[in-house]
């Protein structure tokens, strides 16, 4: 039996929805799992992360798969895993969440699904630490999450059917900005006015995405809790954000903890990516441009 797992990229935060909102994107990692009896964990990669990601037992997919075997109290007699990676690593597009879900979903399917989708989601969120990438990667579309009495409740929100027609431009500068570092630089306490600023706007971001109202998205997708601390640390990012707005983007935000920026527009506008990339280049950084759409679908598991 061979299992195939597809998991989408995600963009977390969406400006004011810090650690709460996330959106699945139409860019997929595809991974095949083949059980063996040779006691070996063999992993190969093509695409993103080739030559950078470990292929031994410290690989996040293997760790996540073995976590599921452990939770199910089942031995793993060996696995051959092949990853076709399209989600760039360390970009702010949820590659580590995608890897974790991939490993957990693959192992769960090989074991005959001892865990429900909800249980796998819970396991992945507990391991990852925050839900805003993992939950949309699993469920697809726009997802809001809360932590409630030590449980995470993640809800897929209604999003307009043509949300998939909103055009997303992601520009990923070649700048090392690990999530751990991007979280460590945030203040431990915030002012009440900043909390109110974000709460009110996060609600309107979900409404703008529900109705497809890009003008509303433009005024709501700003933030006081993380972007003002992170953006100045990414060379060229502030000017890239402003240039994207001037080039016609309705809204622009840091994607997750960065360093990528994500711009929303009603139609494909290649100028947006070019002007953002130009600002990063002026700051000494090369960058990659992705033209993406929202994915209403989340992770998929199939038996081959």
Select from 88, 106, 256, 259 the one that contacts ligand HSE (CB under 6 A).
256
Least distance (Å) from ligand HSE to the CB of residue 68? Answer: 21
User: Is 133 near ligand HSE (CB under 6 A)?
Assistant: yes
Nearer to ligand HSE, 79 or 124 (CB): 124
Residue 212: Cβ within 10 Å count: 16
Scored b (16 or more CB within 10 A) or e, 217-255 reads: bbebbbbbbbbeebbeebbbbbbbbebbeebebbbbbbb
Q: Which stretch binds ligand HSE (CB under 6 A): 35-43, 128-136, 190-198, 266-274?
A: 128-136
Q: Which two tokens stand for residue 147?
A: 């932590």
- 176: Cβ–Cβ under 8 A, 6 or more apart, which residues? 90
* Residue 69 Cβ vs ligand HSE, minimum distance, rounded to whole Å: 26
Q: How far apart are CA 298 and CA 209, in angstroms?
A: 17
48 sits near ligand HSE (criterion: CB under 6 A): no
* 36-44, 79-87, 157-165, 176-184 -> range binding ligand HSE (CB under 6 A): 176-184
CB of 258 to ligand HSE, least distance (A): 8
Report the alpha-carbon distance of residue 26 to residue 164 in Å, rounded.
Answer: 9
C-alpha to C-alpha distance for 88 and 94, rounded to whole angstroms? 9
Build a one-symbol-per-residue string for 269-298: x at contacts with ligand HSE by CB under 6 A, - elsewhere.
Answer: ------------------------------
Q: Which stretch binds ligand HSE (CB under 6 A): 71-79, 146-154, 168-176, 179-187?
A: 179-187
Residue showing tokens 């590659």: 95
Whole-angstrom CA distances from 134 to 41, 51, 54, 159, 279 are 24, 25, 21, 18, 31
- The distance from CA 300 to its chain's CA centroid, rounded to whole angstroms, is 16
CB 139 within 8 A of CB 154: yes
Q: Which of 144, 205, 257, 275 binds ligand HSE (CB under 6 A)?
A: 257
Alpha-carbon torsion (70, 72, 76, 81), positive or negative: negative
Of the pair 236, 256, the CB lying nearest ligand HSE is at 256
Footprint of ligand HSE on 5-24 (CB under 6 A): 12-13, 19
- Shortest Cβ 76–ligand HSE spacing (Å): 28
Stretch that binds ligand HSE, among 58-66, 127-135, 259-267, 290-298 (CB under 6 A): 127-135
Minimal distance, residue 15 CB to ligand HSE, in Å: 11
Instruction: Say whether residue 208 binds ligand HSE (CB under 6 A).
Output: no
Q: Is residue 132 part of the contact set for ligand HSE (CB under 6 A)?
A: yes
| CA torsion, ordered 87, 92, 97, 102, to nearest 10 deg | 0
Question: What whole-number distance in Å separates Cα of residue 242 and Cα of residue 107?
Answer: 44
Give the total of residues touching ligand HSE (CB under 6 A). 12
Q: Which residues contact ligand HSE by CB under 6 A?
A: 12-13, 19, 130, 132-133, 179, 182-183, 226, 256-257
């Amino acid at each position: 039996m061979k299992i195939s797992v597809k998991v989408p990229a995600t963009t977390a935060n969406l400006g004011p929805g810090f650690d709460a909102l996330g959106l699945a994107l139409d860019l997929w990692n595809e991974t095949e799992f083949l059980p063996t009896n040779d006691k070996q964990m063999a992993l190969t990669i093509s695409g993103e992360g080739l030559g950078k990601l470990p292929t031994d037992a410290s690989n996040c997919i293997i760790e996540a798969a073995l976590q599921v075997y452990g939770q199910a109290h089942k031995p793993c007699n060996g696995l051959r895993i092949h990853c076709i990676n399209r989600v760039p690593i360390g970009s702010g597009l949820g590659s580590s969440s995608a890897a974790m879900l991939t490993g957990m979903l693959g192992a769960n399917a090989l074991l005959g699904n001892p865990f429900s989708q909800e249980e796998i989601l819970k396991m992945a969120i507990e391991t990852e630490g925050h839900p805003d990438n993992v939950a949309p990667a699993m469920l697809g579309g726009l997802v809001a999450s809360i932590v409630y009495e030590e449980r995470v409740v993640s809800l897929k929100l209604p999003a307009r059917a043509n949300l998939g027609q909103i055009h997303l431009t992601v520009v990923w500068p070649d700048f090392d900005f690990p999530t751990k570092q991007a979280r460590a630089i945030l203040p431990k306490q915030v002012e009440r006015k900043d909390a109110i600023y974000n709460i009110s706007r996060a609600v309107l971001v979900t409404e703008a995405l529900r109705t497809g109202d890009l003008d509303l998205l433009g005024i709501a997708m700003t933030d006081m809790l993380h972007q003002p601390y992170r953006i100045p640390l990414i060379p060229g990012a502030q000017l890239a954000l402003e240039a994207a707005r001037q080039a016609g983007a309705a809204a622009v935000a840091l994607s997750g903890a960065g360093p990528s920026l994500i711009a929303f527009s009603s139609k494909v506008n290649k100028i947006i990516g070019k002007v953002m990339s130009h600002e990063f280049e002026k700051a000494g950084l090369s960058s990659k441009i992705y033209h993406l759409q929202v994915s209403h679908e989340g992770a998929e598991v199939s038996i081959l």
